[in-house]
């Protein structure tokens, strides 16, 4: 699966309609604002995808605006992998240039829900990343994930990742390929 930006661009052309609408279009990795332009879309829906990505002491907030992919509308993904947290939200609206809202993510539910998952993050390998540590899942994160893939980072470098942690159902469906700016090159394994 390609990153969310590529997925959104490719599938927006599949939305059928006899008339054309315009949506604001832009994407920005590690910024909540981006230089917008108008783009023609098939269908009458636009979208804004907001993302929060935290690893260690670094926090990245990213945004994408463009033509809607109806399968992603309303998606709220969240996950915890070792010392990394990530969330994304896809808001869709109907009409010309309707996706002008500011960066927004629903509040994170930090309530421990009783699910515990093994947690590990390894780079440079597609082998299983093993760890005897567990993480307490929170909010809607009710599934354990084991993921291994080669990803293209936002800076253009390609790296192998092996990760385990807590995710919710939306995050499992779109996994690390959903991160704005990342591109999944080759998936080795995914199990939720």
Asked whether residue 124 falls in the same domain as residue 89, the answer is no
The per-residue pLDDT for 184 is 84
* pLDDT single digits (tens) 66-104: 999 888 899 898 999 988 888 899 999 999 999 988 888
Question: What span, in angstroms and rounded, lies between the C-alpha atoms of 92 and 70?
Answer: 8
Domain assignment of residue 99, yes or no: no
Q: Is residue 130 part of a domain?
A: yes
Examine the domain organization and report whether 127 and 180 are in the same domain: yes
Whether 169 is in a domain gets the answer yes
Position 45 scores a pLDDT of 92
Q: Are residues 55 and 122 in the same domain?
A: no
- pLDDT higher than 90, residue 107: no
Q: What is the mean pLDDT of the chain?
A: 83
pLDDT for res 125: 94
Judge whether 9 and 47 are in contact, CB under 8 Å: no
* Residue of higher predicted confidence among 14 and 113: 113
Same domain, 156 and 187: yes
Q: Looking at per-residue confidence, does 184 or 119 come out higher?
A: 119
CA distances from 55 to 98, 150, 151 (A): 32, 19, 17
Please check whether residue 106 lies inside any domain of the structure: no
What's the pTM value of the predicted model, to 2 decimals?
0.78
Assign 154 a pLDDT band (cuts: 50, 70, 90).
confident
Q: For residue 143, what pLDDT is reported?
A: 95
Distance (Å, rounded) from C-alpha 24 to C-alpha 67?
A: 8
Final residue in a domain of this structure, among 43, 66, 94: 94
87 and 122 housed in the same domain: no
Q: Is residue 104 part of a domain?
A: no
Identify the domain containing residue 18 by its residue range. 4-94
List alpha helices for the chain, DSSP H.
Answer: 4-12, 169-174
Whether residues 119 and 182 share a domain: the answer is: yes
Residues 122 and 86 in one domain: no
Q: How many domains does the chain have?
A: 2
Angle, CA 30 vertex, CA 185 and CA 35 arms, to 5° = 100
User: Are 22 and 78 part of one and the same domain?
Assistant: yes
66/16 same-domain check? yes
Q: What is the pLDDT of residue 178?
A: 61
**What are the phi and psi torsion angles at 54 (to 5°)?**
-125, 130
Q: Which of 15-24, 64-73, 174-183 has the highest mean pLDDT?
A: 64-73
Say if residues 162 and 82 touch (Cβ distance below 8 Å): no
Lowest mean pLDDT among 16-25, 60-69, 99-108, 161-170: 16-25
Same domain, 79 and 120: no
Mean pLDDT of 44-50: 91
pLDDT band at 156; cut points 50, 70, 90: confident
Percent of the chain with pLDDT over 70: 87
pLDDT at 12 over 50: no
105 within a domain of the structure (yes/no): no
Same domain? For 127 and 183 the reply is yes
- Residue 67 placed within a domain: yes
Residue 80 and residue 149 in one domain:
no
Residue 107 belongs to some domain of the structure:
no
């Amino acid at each position: 699966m390609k990153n969310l930006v590529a997925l959104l661009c490719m599938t927006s052309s599949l939305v059928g309609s006899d008339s054309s609408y315009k949506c604001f279009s832009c994407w920005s990795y590690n910024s909540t604002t981006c230089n917008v332009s108008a783009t023609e879309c098939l269908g009458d829906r636009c979208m804004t995808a907001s993302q929060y990505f935290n690893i260690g002491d670094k926090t990245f907030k990213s945004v994408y605006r463009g033509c809607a992919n109806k399968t992603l509308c309303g998606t709220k993904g969240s996950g915890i992998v070792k010392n990394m947290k990530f969330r994304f939200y896809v808001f869709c609206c109907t009409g010309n240039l309707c996706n002008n809202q500011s960066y927004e993510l629903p509040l994170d539910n930090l309530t421990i829900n009783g699910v515990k998952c093994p947690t590990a993050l390894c780079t440079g390998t597609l082998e299983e990343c093993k760890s005897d540590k567990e993480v307490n899942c929170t909010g809607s994160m009710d599934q354990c994930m084991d993921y291994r893939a080669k990803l293209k980072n936002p800076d253009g470098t390609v790296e192998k990742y092996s990760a385990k942690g807590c995710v919710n159902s939306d995050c499992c469906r779109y996994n690390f390929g959903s991160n704005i700016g990342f591109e999944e090159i080759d998936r080795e394994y995914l199990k939720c």
